[in-house]
């Protein structure tokens, strides 16, 4: 068996766990398998399918020895994902050095004033625990954790939009840095709000694994593909019941679609895959805005998303994508998942509710902070 990269392994495992849309048809799975085999440049898919089973222990051992050792590739993927970590910057001139006018633009640079640490009119960060379920296992109750950004002067008497921000395969609820006052995401949110570029909204960074094993070092990835169930049954109801969102929570059940115009979902790498497979394709009744940053190799190809959304009754308010041109891990999959969607589906119109952005960069937070900065300006407009 030819050795594959870690992302090739992730793709295969994702299909075996019926990732994303729980109602995906067998034909769609086979289509995705064909795409994956082609991308991985496997010699012949049928060659593997036609291998006869054998009871010979020696043959079994030999076959096992041919299994790919992805430990190095996995470590490389994690190393790239975690290679950049930036925090808020401290302005020598203080918070009053800039005139209070909105100047943010969607592009390839974050203006310096939007990364400055604010000591006035700053938002707050809360760490929460909520009841989830082991959707990748026996469905039993488990305790999940997340971080919540509340905008400056958060007022429970007002209603706030909500953004779910997801991590990558090597991260957890802390990967976006929403754990401290110097968080880059917090600085961007504080300043976009302060200068009037956006209306204030809540950001939550959960652990995207919907299973009992939520450790960022785990090699078990099937729980990533079950996260739609946690969003629907656990996390969104928790946020709607504990924070001042637009969701009209009722413990006896409520219409999650009623507030979809006030919810966004975005993520990096594996979280980008979840944004597409789960947010856009499975949970579009709950979300109206979608942001995929360097979407991982198990992301559904654009043809499949177009087919899934063909009869979707809900409008897609905006689907934003970004990826680095030098991203060896995700450029191919990310572009295959989104770049040509406007040509395949009448749900998307370039420049109106869709944007594909590619710029110099790799598989790291240089791209993802830019993606968050841009998407924060797009969502809820």
Q: Is 16 helix (H, G, I), strand (E, B) or coil?
A: helix
Query: Per-residue pLDDT tens for 162-215?
Result: 999 999 999 999 999 999 999 999 999 999 999 999 999 999 999 999 999 999
Report domain extents, the chain.
76-378
Residue 92: pLDDT over 90 = no
Tell if the pTM clears 0.85, that is, is over it. no
Q: Is 169 helix (H, G, I), strand (E, B) or coil?
A: coil
CATH class of the 76-378 domain in this structure: alpha beta
The least confident of 97-111, 221-235, 294-308 is: 97-111
265 membership: H or E segment, kind and range: strand 263-268
Query: Per-residue pLDDT tens for 316-333?
Result: 999 999 999 999 999 999
Cross-strand bridge partners of residue 202:
162
3-state helix, strand, coil in the chain (%, to 5): 35, 15, 50
Burial class (CB in 10 A: 0-12, 13-18, 19+), 48: exposed
Q: Is 293 helix (H, G, I), strand (E, B) or coil?
A: strand
């Amino acid at each position: 068996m030819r050795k594959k990269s870690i992302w090739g392994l992730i793709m295969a495992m994702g299909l075996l766990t019926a990732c994303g849309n729980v109602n995906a048809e067998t034909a769609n799975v086979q289509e995705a398998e064909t795409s994956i085999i082609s991308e991985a440049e496997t010699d012949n898919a049928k060659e593997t399918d036609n291998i006869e089973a054998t009871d010979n222990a020696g043959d079994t051992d030999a076959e096992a020895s041919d299994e790919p050792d992805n430990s190095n590739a996995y470590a490389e993927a994690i190393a790239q994902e975690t290679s950049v970590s930036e925090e808020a910057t401290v302005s020598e001139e203080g918070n009053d050095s800039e005139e209070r006018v909105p100047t943010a633009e969607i592009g390839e640079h974050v203006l310096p004033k939007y990364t400055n640490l604010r000591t006035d009119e700053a938002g707050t960060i809360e760490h929460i625990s909520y009841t989830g379920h082991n959707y990748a296992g026996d469905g039993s109750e488990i305790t999940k954790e997340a971080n919540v950004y509340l905008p400056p002067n958060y007022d429970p008497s007002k209603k706030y939009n909500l953004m779910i921000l997801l991590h990558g395969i090597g991260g957890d609820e802390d990967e976006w840095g929403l754990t401290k006052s110097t968080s880059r995401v917090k600085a961007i949110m504080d300043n976009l709000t302060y200068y009037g570029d956006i209306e204030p909204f809540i950001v939550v960074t959960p652990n995207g694994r919907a299973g009992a094993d939520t450790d960022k070092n785990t090699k078990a990835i099937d729980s990533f593909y079950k996260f739609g169930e946690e969003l629907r049954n656990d996390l969104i109801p928790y946020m709607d019941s504990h924070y001042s969102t637009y969701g009209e929570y009722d413990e006896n059940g409520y219409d999650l679609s009623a507030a979809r115009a006030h919810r966004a979902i975005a993520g990096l790498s594996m979280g980008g895959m979840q944004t597409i497979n789960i947010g856009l394709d499975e949970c579009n009744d709950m979300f109206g805005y979608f942001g995929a940053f360097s979407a991982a190799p198990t992301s559904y190809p654009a043809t499949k998303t177009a087919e899934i959304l063909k009869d979707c009754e809900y409008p897609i308010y905006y689907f934003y994508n970004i990826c680095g041109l030098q991203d060896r891990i995700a450029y191919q999959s990310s572009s295959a998942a989104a770049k040509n969607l406007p040509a395949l589906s009448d749900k998307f119109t370039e420049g109106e509710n869709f944007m594909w952005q590619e710029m110099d960069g790799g598989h790291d937070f240089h791209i993802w902070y830019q993606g968050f900065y841009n998407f924060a300006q797009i969502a809820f407009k």
